[in-house]
Amino acid sequence: MKRYTLSFIVLLVAVGIPLLLINPSQKDAMSRDGRITRDILSATITRAIQIAETNYYKPIEDSNEMYRGSVKGALAALNDTYTYYISEREHQRAVENLYNAEYGGLGIQIYPDHRGFIKISKPFPNTPASRAKLQAGDYITKVDGKRIHLSERTGMTLNDVVDILRGKLNTDVTITVQRKFLDPFDVTLTRDRISISSVKSTMLEDDIGYIRITSFIGSRRTDGTEEEFNEALKAHEAADMKALILDLRDNQGGLLNAAYHIADGFIDEGLIVSTKSETNSEFNEEYSATQHLRCPLEIPLIVLVNEYSASASEIVAGAIKDTRRGLLVGQKTYGKGVVQKRFELPDGGAMSLTISTYYTPNGTSINDAGITPQVSIADDEPDDVEAQMLRKAETSDTFRDFITKWIDDHHTRPGEIPKDFSLLEAELPTLQQQLEKERIYVSLKWLTQSVEQVFNLQVGIEQVVDLEYDRQLQEAIRIIKADEVAKHLTPPEDTEPPSTTQADTLVEPNTAAEE
């Protein structure tokens, strides 16, 4: 049975399977009270479900869900947020999104409008959708003749729509498209291999390269995050990059190996990360630098982090900080210092199980502690009252209708959806007044930022950086332009080198599991 390994932080509901965790050679083992055996406990679960099936006050539609519930309860008993059961559909999606970094599909980004109808935000280049000339603003009203609408009545979710649009390579799917000014029309597309992007990049002023990694994906080194990162770095080097900003903010993790290879591109010697299990030496690993630098050591490096930088992103940030290869700027990271492995289960689902703790090069476990950047600076955020008002605004029909109507009113010809936000921005005082009539009071500054995010999504604009509002990015640029990176990295003269004793105990490397 193929097994998958991954370390990432997505705080899902803790779930799992008890009967599948029983070792047949130990099924008669006694519990702590000395009376209850594993056989008795297994029989107890079966008997409880039988009683419920016979006596519950209304018919039980699927008693298999009760067995899955017992599995979830077994793993939940470990009181570990990161150990849980994954359904077959969720596991398959993880295989596509996380391990393979690709899927069979059409190559479109979709979202539901406030009425539950599915719209195309943008088609990706060189995909079936772009070749069929699908456009931002198109509605998908049917898939293979089945009407598409998200509501309590239909019971359909966005994941359901994704499932029916994705499929095996070289299979056909027919979608019905509603485009403004035109009658509905059908388009038959052949599903192709669609790569999932996890890297965004651009060149900033003063030859400063900027690369943002949103997650660490791809179990093969020739695709996924590592391939995208290398391509972005090569483009920056060709543009005569003088310094680099690596943005790991809001990156909640991904595959350990993918993170290791990114860190290895910056560090030429020593330990990058190590893992240790108290129960299974198979999971005791050391990941050392290979001297295969992707980014030359003379390039000043700043890494942006915040409280949502977690797991695999903390591995990269921790290695760069401990080795003084670069400067961390932002806020203390989340503090997830444990590694999970995915084990496939007989029902097609899987379980995520915490298997080890990881340590930074200095032998530090950051679990529940996080990593404090050398330069701490909070992002610009609304205060509590404003944040509450902003949430109310974003969920109001007035807010959503205003944006949708403006786009529709300025969408005057097929294929020419408006993309100049400044025109909409000029009318936001009117939206602000309409919200105030509903006792929703939001400053124009925060309303503008929120509306721009929704506007960009609906018209297919991808904003890589926000130089106007991003205080942490602004500070990173200032430090580079002032040539202060080295100053922040130089330790005081009376500072002893950090001990690596703890990390040195985390060895006997074994063959790394697939991650």
Q: What are the catalytic residues?
A: 311, 322, 336
**Residue 146 host element (H or E):** strand 146-147
Q: In this structure, what token pair is assigned to residue 397? A: 């029909």
With b for 16 or more beta-carbon neighbours within 10 A and e for fewer, the 306-327 pattern comes to: bbebbbbbbbbbbbbbbbebbb
Instruction: Give the burial class of 6: count Cβ atoms within 10 A of its Cβ; 0-12 exposed, 13-18 middle, 19 or more buried.
Output: buried
H or E element: which one contains 187?
strand 185-190
Q: Where are the alpha helices (DSSP H) in 324-396?
A: 384-394
Helices (H), 351-470: 384-394, 397-410, 421-425, 428-436, 444-459
CA-wise closest residue to 205 among 489, 506, 474? 474
- Would strands 192-195 and 172-178 be described as parallel, antiparallel, or unpaired? unpaired
Sequence-separated contacts (24+) of 107-114 with Cβ below 8 Å: 107/192, 107/194, 108/134, 108/165, 109/460, 110/140, 110/158, 110/161, 110/162, 110/165, 111/158, 111/457, 111/458, 112/150, 112/158, 113/400, 113/404, 114/397, 114/400, 114/401, 114/404
Q: Measuring CA to CA, which residue among 69, 89, 84, 81 is closest to residue 19?
A: 69
Dist. CA 55–CA 425, nearest whole Å: 61
Question: Which neighbouring-strand residues pair with 77?
Answer: none
Give me the helices (H) in 248-326, please.
256-264, 312-322
Tell me how far apart the alpha carbons of residues 141 and 411 are, in angstroms, rounded to a whole number.
19
Whole-number Å distance between alpha carbons of 496 and 491: 9
Report residue 403 as tokens.
Answer: 């944006």
Query: What is the maximal distance between C-alpha atoms in the chain?
Result: 77
CA angle 164, 165, 169 (to 5 degrees): 105
